[in-house]
């Protein structure tokens, strides 16, 4: 079959884009063809159909989003604009479906979190009109985010985020989402955790990857404490800064690989100020990280897979995650993990048997002692990371992805 992924953005190293690549790879293994449609597409999302208005940063999408969630009583004219834009987007989606003879669409978070209201309505309308089989993959529901609670558009959210339609099979990335979707909306969903290809051995750094340290001004003796996330508030990066401040170890350098810009405000600037006040060594390396190697404005671009093998320890101090892509990547690359015990870690990941230095908001002496042991004891690092790799292989590997995707596709085939 021809399967079409639809999202606001399918580009870069955010969780939705990365998981889309994995689903596409396995679907192609099954013999299907995959195609992509979004407001931004990179080289991994090809063949593709670009709809700039689908991006959540498009001025029209941003304006509608801001009015919906900053004004508890939107005007009738607001709703007219939302649906007029949705009609345009639906027409563009119909071209995508026709051009690639799409049999199944896979909206990736576009029917989940209302970053682009009109896109969600457009996809819902496409499903209603054409009865196209749909695997709706959900990563972040709006009711999990405070900024979406105060709104005057609950009828739109009920209609499209997500829609409850017969052609749709729903799939979520954690068990809490599965339970709440059924409790709140009466919608049943399959459970697919974030996964990684544990069956394939991690690559060793090649000559290109080994230039990363020099590129960001580090020596071979520096110990990289890796923060492999975007720079958004829920990642709790200030806790990683506080950890390094209290460790007070001149060998350690906090390397933050994520980019800014997915949320407004001055979080990145504030983090830099915090790092300066803390007196730690740090690098914001996002301008050097991309989905593929290359060169931009004279700067070498590396993939995250170039960076992970060079890390000594990985920090994951998130306050909230839909699951935790970077955490699973940490298990795969056999790196010790220091984690703030966010809810989904406690419900879906720790019970699988993952071993980590854990804390909850407060970094006390026990956390510092355990972290120092992990940093300095090579035997302990090997023991922990080998164990975690086996946990990942058993619970978060492509074996799980193949099984759950096969279930989902069969469920769609069985629908009339």
Residues 6+ apart with CB under 8 A from 273: none
Contacts (Cβ under 8 Å, ≥6 apart) of 228: 257, 258, 304, 307, 308, 314, 326, 329, 330
Per-residue pLDDT at 416: 61
406 pLDDT more than 80: yes
Using the structure block, give the residue that is written with the tokens 């749709």. Answer: 168
Q: 209-395: which CATH number, 2.40.50.90, 3.40.50.150, 3.40.50.1370, 3.40.50.2000?
A: 3.40.50.2000
Strands 337-340 and 33-38: unpaired
Beta strand spans in 42-132 (E)? 48-50, 104-107
Instruction: Quote the pLDDT of residue 260.
Output: 84
Kindly report, residue by residue over 349-365, the tens digit of the pLDDT.
999 999 999 999 999 99
Residue 25 burial (C-beta neighbours within 10 Å; 0-12, 13-18, 19+): middle
pLDDT in tens, 37-84: 999 999 999 999 999 999 999 999 999 999 999 888 999 999 999 999
State how far Cα 7 lies from the chain centre. 13
- The predicted-structure confidence for 144-188, as pLDDT tens digits, reads as follows 888 898 899 999 999 999 999 999 999 999 999 999 999 999 999
CA distances from 323 to 176, 207, 236, 326, 332 (A): 10, 33, 15, 9, 15
- Provide the mean pLDDT of the chain: 95
Where are the CATH 3.40.50.2000 domain residues in the chain?
A: 2-195+398-414, 209-395
Confidence (pLDDT) at 71? 87
Tokens of 53: 């208005």
Q: Does the pLDDT of residue 415 top 80, yes or no?
A: no
Say what the alpha-carbon torsion angle 362, 364, 369, 371 is, to the nearest 10 degrees.
Answer: 10
Share of the chain above pLDDT 70, in %: 100
Q: How confident is the model at residue 306 (pLDDT cuts 50, 70, 90)?
A: very high
pLDDT digits (tens, 9 = 90+) for 334-348: 999 999 999 999 999
Residue-wise pLDDT tens digits, 371-405:
999 999 999 999 999 999 999 999 999 999 999 99
Q: Strands 48-50, 337-340: parallel, antiparallel or unpaired by DSSP?
A: unpaired
Which residues, 6 or more positions from 59, have their beta carbon under 8 angstroms from its beta carbon? none
Q: If residue 299 lies in a helix (H) or strand (E), which one and from where to where?
A: strand 299-301
Rg from Cα positions in the chain:
22
Specify the fold of 2-195+398-414.
Rossmann fold (3.40.50)
User: Which H helix or E strand runs over 381?
Assistant: helix 378-395
pLDDT-derived band at 298 (thresholds 50, 70, 90) equals: confident
Residues β-bridged to residue 299: 296
| pLDDT above 80 (res 308) | yes
- Residue pair 256/231 in contact (Cβ under 8 Å)? The answer is yes
Q: Are 388 and 368 contacting, i.e. CB atoms less than 8 angstroms apart?
A: no
- Prior bond of 47 cis (ω within 30°): yes
State the pLDDT at residue 327: 96
Cα 33 from Cα 45, distance rounded (Å)? 12
Q: At how many degrees (to 10) do helices 237-247 and 267-278 cross?
A: 10
Convert the pLDDT of each residue in 239-269 to its tens digit. Answer: 999 999 999 999 999 999 988 877 777 999 9
Total-model pTM: 0.86
């Amino acid at each position: 079959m021809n399967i079409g992924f639809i999202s606001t953005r399918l580009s870069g190293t955010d969780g939705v884009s990365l998981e889309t690549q994995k689903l596409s790879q396995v679907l192609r293994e099954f013999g299907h063809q995959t195609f992509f449609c979004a407001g931004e597409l990179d080289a991994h999302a090809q063949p593709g159909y670009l709809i700039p208005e689908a991006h959540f940063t498009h001025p029209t999408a941003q304006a509608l989003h801001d009015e919906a969630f900053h004004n508890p009583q939107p005007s009738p004219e607001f709703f007219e604009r939302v649906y007029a834009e949705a009609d345009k987007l639906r027409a563009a989606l119909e071209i995508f479906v026709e051009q690639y003879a799409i049999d199944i669409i896979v909206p990736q978070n576009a029917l989940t979190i209302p970053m682009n209201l009109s896109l969600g309505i457009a996809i819902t309308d496409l499903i209603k009109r054409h009865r196209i089989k749909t695997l709706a993959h959900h990563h972040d529901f709006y009711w999990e985010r405070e900024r979406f609670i105060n709104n005057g558009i609950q009828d739109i959210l009920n209609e499209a985020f997500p829609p409850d339609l017969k052609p749709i099979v729903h799939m979520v990335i954690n068990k809490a989402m599965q339970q709440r979707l059924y409790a709140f909306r009466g919608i049943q969903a399959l459970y697919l955790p974030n996964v990684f290809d544990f069956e394939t051995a991690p690559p060793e750094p090649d000559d290109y990857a080994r230039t990363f340290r020099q590129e960001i001004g580090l020596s071979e003796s520096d110990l990289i404490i890796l923060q492999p996330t975007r720079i958004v508030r829920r990642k709790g990066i200030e806790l990683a800064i506080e950890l390094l401040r209290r460790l007070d170890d001149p060998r350690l350098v906090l390397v933050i690989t994520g980019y800014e810009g997915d949320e407004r405000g001055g979080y990145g600037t504030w983090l830099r100020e915090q790092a300066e006040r803390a007196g730690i060594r740090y690098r914001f390396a996002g301008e050097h990280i991309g989905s593929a190697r290359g060169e931009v404005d004279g700067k070498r671009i590396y993939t995250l897979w170039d960076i992970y093998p060079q890390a000594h320890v990985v920090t994951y101090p998130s306050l909230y995650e839909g699951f935790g892509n970077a955490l699973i990547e940490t298990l795969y690359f056999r790196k010790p993990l220091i984690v703030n015990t966010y809810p989904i870690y406690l419900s879906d990941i720790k019970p699988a048997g993952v071993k980590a230095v854990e804390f909850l908001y407060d970094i006390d002496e026990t956390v510092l002692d355990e972290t120092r042991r992990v940093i300095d004891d090579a035997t302990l690092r090997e023991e922990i990371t080998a164990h975690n790799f086996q946990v990942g292989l058993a619970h978060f590997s492509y074996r799980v992805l193949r099984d759950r995707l096969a279930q989902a596709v069969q469920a769609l085939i069985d629908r009339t």
